[in-house]
Amino acid sequence: MSDDVPHLDCDQQRMVKTYLEMDQGLAVLGSVPGAGKSTTIAKAAAEDLLARAAAGDSRPHERVLIASFSQEDAADLVPDIIAWIEALYERSATSAALDRSDIDRLCRQVREAPRIGTVDSVIRAVCGEIATEMGFDSMPTVGNPALIEQLHQDSYESVSGTDAGARLADHVRDAYDSNGAALVPNLLRDVFKIARRRQLTPPELTDCLRAAVTDNYRGGSPTAFDDIIDAVRAYRDDTTAANLKDTLTDVKKRKLLEADQKLHAAWSSLVEAVTELYEQYADAYGELARDRGVISHTDCVRLVDTYFSNKQYASPRRERLTQRYREGIDSVIIDVAQDVSRLQHDALAHLVADDARILLAGDLDQCIYQWRDATPELFAGAVEDGAYFNRNWRPHETEQAEKNYRSRPGIVRFANAVAERGLGHDERGGLGEVTTEPSAMSATRDAAADSPIHVATFDPKGAPGTDDWVAPDQRVGEARTVARYVASGVDTGRFPSAADDTDITVLFPRRRHMDAYADAFGAHGLTVADASAYLFESPAVRSVIDVVKWLISPADSSRTRQLLE
């Protein structure tokens, strides 16, 4: 067991020691990819638990909150912590007060720990204790896609079924010049999700949308043609603005100004319609969610934050719950902290006392979940200022790990070069809220005999991602180039073959052209399994569904004909 768990380097061990020696405060480990931050987190958690057990705490697993953002990362937490506990014991690096039976008991406790998992799972457990006070009969079902989809559909039907709601929906549909039935419900759902994730009340949402209109119109509705010229100059360039001003007649300038004024008025009117419709939609969603006992993960986190922050829910029981959590949780450890959302962060903050001990690990250059409202500036604040959980922590210690233990030197050099040309570029980099620096990884593994990077080139016939780029008619595109290269690697032994019982994984940025890639690989005799296919669109699953539908009434001849067709 101990051979499977690595020894930490000096930087990693220093961070673990810093964290463990704190009575309270914040320790932050920033790192490059492959630096072993999750390994460091697991050892810190293991040593924390071992120290508590050695001090006589019979339930050390209840004193710590250990979480990661994604399910994949969180699934490794318990196995990794247990592996470290076992390894430290085998290496005689645990207290003499602990014997084999103590280690076995601690490992069982870790498996049963109530607050080790994803951030959402930790918050979901808290939601279970407050659900009835938030208007539910019992703990609601969380995150069931089918039930949530029906919830949204019925919320829209409830709103659009009234005369007022129908008029507002028509207004929005007319503004987009669309007859599509899905436009308004999809728009409302998007507005609902964004408002919930950003904790916007209907008035705050209205203010945000009004501000967007004002910003786009550079202060308000245009009053003179020069206002339009200023906008063209700001959004395009001076040359275009000058050409427009010089070539238009006074009549056309006046008509253009009138048209832009009407557009501003229409846009402002649309904002009012959308926000009024949203408020009705949100009310209907809330009522249906409580009636059916169904909520999304975002709803769950929002309920917890609302319960502990809103004066409406102040009560002696809330005070007792707050005290119980804050007195019970001595340590908080969060991996991939750069991906925690503002809403998750604020919900967890209610559970953490001012004298807690915090350990965060993350990498600001690896924030890939901003589409799920990851808020990397929270982790950046922890790194730079010691600010987290809505308070400033003292002491505050930060360590930066820059050694990559995962990749060969060639891969590391390649990643550094790409990062420098991307993150360090004036126009391509710095697109997020947090300022990022080009990666400065150093490799620790030995170089391989063969090059770890192979570049297959071709003469493109179109822009990246287009049909002509991937598979142009009668020409060589990316699909045929990659397929030929992989097939050549298999033939020459550089890549594994079927006889090696090893798969070759080929990753693409989007699923749109998967059939073209599969055809190209198939033309070279390679068997392809398309992992991007949706489960319920696969022929095998669709066949099973057809049979199940037929079994509803097998004596029905029309169902039999439909099945055989």
C-alpha to C-alpha distances, 50 to 63, 107, 272, 328, 352, nearest whole angstrom: 12, 10, 58, 17, 22
The DSSP 8-state label assigned to residue 138 in this structure reads S
Q: Could you report the per-residue pLDDT of 223-253, keeping only the tens digit for each?
A: 999 999 998 998 888 999 999 899 999 999 9
The greatest distance separating any two alpha carbons of the chain, rounded to the nearest whole angstrom, comes to 93
Which string of b and e fits 382-402 if b means at least 16 CB within 10 Å? bbeebbbbeeebeebbbbebe
Written as six digits, the tokens of 118 are 């994803």
pLDDT for 115 equals 94
User: Which is it for strands 331-334 and 357-362: parallel, antiparallel or unpaired?
Assistant: parallel
Tell me if 164 sits within 8 A of 281, measured CB to CB: no
Quick one: what percent of the chain has pLDDT higher than 90? 61
pLDDT-derived band at 428, boundaries 50, 70, 90: low
Task: Please tell me whether residue 332 adopts helix, strand or coil conformation.
Answer: strand
Quick one: what percent of the chain has pLDDT higher than 70? 95
pLDDT for 219 equals 83
Tell me if 433 sits within 8 A of 376, measured CB to CB: yes
Tell me if 2 sits within 8 A of 87, measured CB to CB: yes
| 550: nearest Cα among 565, 529, 528 | 565
pLDDT-derived band at 290, boundaries 50, 70, 90: very high
Q: Could you report the per-residue pLDDT of 477-493, keeping only the tens digit for each?
A: 999 999 999 998 888 88
pLDDT-derived band at 547, boundaries 50, 70, 90: confident
Whether the predicted pLDDT of 372 surpasses 80: no
- Rounded Cα distance between 379 and 453, Å, is 33
Q: Could you report the per-residue pLDDT of 47-91, keeping only the tens digit for each?
A: 999 999 999 999 999 999 999 988 888 899 999 999 999 999 999
Among 138-142, 271-275, 358-362, 406-410, the least confident range: 406-410
| 147: nearest Cα among 301, 290, 294 | 294
Q: When comparing pLDDT for 90 and 531, which is higher?
A: 90
Tell me if 512 sits within 8 A of 483, measured CB to CB: no
The DSSP 8-state label assigned to residue 500 in this structure reads G
User: To the nearest whole number, what is the mean pLDDT of the chain?
Assistant: 89
Written as six digits, the tokens of 472 are 């142009």
pLDDT for 436 equals 63
Amino acid 144 reads N
| 65: nearest Cα among 50, 88, 83, 48 | 48
